[in-house]
Structure 1
Amino acid sequence: MVVQLLFGMFFAGALLSFTEGQNDFKLLPDFYKRGVELGLQQINSSPNVQQHFLFFKSLSKSDMDAGFGVRYAYHHFLAKATKCQRGTVDADIMKCSFRNDRPVIDCGICYKTYNGRIEDNPKPFIHCVYKPKLTPEMIKERTEHCNKMSYSSGSASIMLVRGSK
């Protein structure tokens, strides 16, 4: 009886943590969802990745409205491995639960949109790396690159405008 109770508590807790990441994704504005999808597409198409990765949580995000339908975005988020193999189609958290035995991938992505669509010019910057390998130098380079992207339009730094954690 005690074993069944413990198993039930473990299962309920695990289910809650598995669905947390995708609930957070559903709460993101479409503007940030598009960027996350772009980052996950890059991660999941990498030949070095064996599991399918899904959005886990946002660490920070900022955006800047440059006017005339142009917006710049920066999103720092984590992606987490699931129990599904890379290449899984229509993966969702109920089918592909998160694994807790793999490191998360830390992603920083910045991009320009015009009327809600991600523009090819400047090319979206996607920097994703396994968290244990992320260095302060990488974070600095990521930040500098994204700031240059918004400066090229004559705007203020994307990292300084309307941020949230």
Structure 2
Amino acid sequence: MTLLLFCALLYAAGAQDPPVDDVTIVTPLHRTGVDLALEHLNSQITVPRLFRYNRTVDKQEQQSGGTESKYVYEHLLLKPTVCLKGTVYSLQNCSFINNKPSMDCVVCYKTEFNQIQQTPKPYVHCIQKPRVTQDIKTDRIAACKKMAYLIGSTCIMCARAPRGR
């Protein structure tokens, strides 16, 4: 009976997932892409809530020129939290809101010696997950390809699998 009451209270209160310890689940280089996406999204005036890293959908890296230079493509999902901007100092204290859509983000950037480079300018694009269309996916890939082509190297997103006959 007590367990049933406890479960009912959690349900009625709209229980949130526990915060993801995003500091321990990503490598330092992956953390760079996550930080770029979070900085971009949390700096938007029209977005009232803080967002946190939820999960990685896809991540690809390709060496460029020397062994210490690479292009990175990351497809991330960020979730809104209960915290409004300017109200907290630690995102770890902000639990996810499950009844709001995740933000679907793509980040492309170049690194040298595991440090992000400002040339070419990193590409960050975030949109609510339900609003992602095939055109948006195509535009994102094109933007990442363009970034790599400006430097004159190949990129992971440029290779295509041969079509079956």
Per the TM superposition, whether the score is higher than 0.5 is: yes
What letter matches 2:75 in structure 1? H
Identity of aligned residues (%): 31
Given that 2:120 and 2:147 are in contact with CA atoms closer than 8 Å, whether structure 1 keeps it comes out as yes
Rg larger for: 2
For 1:54 and 1:2, the matched residues in 2 are separated by 31
1:100 aligns to what SS in structure 2? Answer: coil
Separation (CA, whole Å) in 2 of partners of 1:100 and 1:68: 42
Of 137, 142, 146 in structure 2, the residue corresponding to residue 144 of structure 1 is 142
After superposition, the C-alpha distances for 1:77-121 in whole angstroms (9 at most, x for unaligned) are: 1000011112332211xx100001211100001000111111110
Structure 1 counterpart of 2:109: 111
What's 2:70 paired with? 71
CA contact (8 A) 1:107 1:126 kept: yes
Q: How does 1:25-104 map to 2 (within 5 A)?
A: 26-66=24-64, 67-87=66-86, 88-92=88-92, 95-104=93-102
Q: TM-score, normalised by structure 1?
A: 0.82
Unaligned runs of 5+ in 2: 160-165
State the Cα deviation string for residues 62-85 of structure 1 (Å, max 9, x = none): 001222421110000100001111
Q: TM-score, normalised by structure 2?
A: 0.82
Once residues 54 and 101 of structure 2 are traced to their aligned partners in structure 1, the CA distance between those partners, rounded to angstroms, is: 12
One-letter amino acid matched to 1:114: E
* 5+ long unaligned stretches in structure 1: none
Question: Contact between 2:120 and 2:150, CA under 8 Å: does it hold in 1?
Answer: no
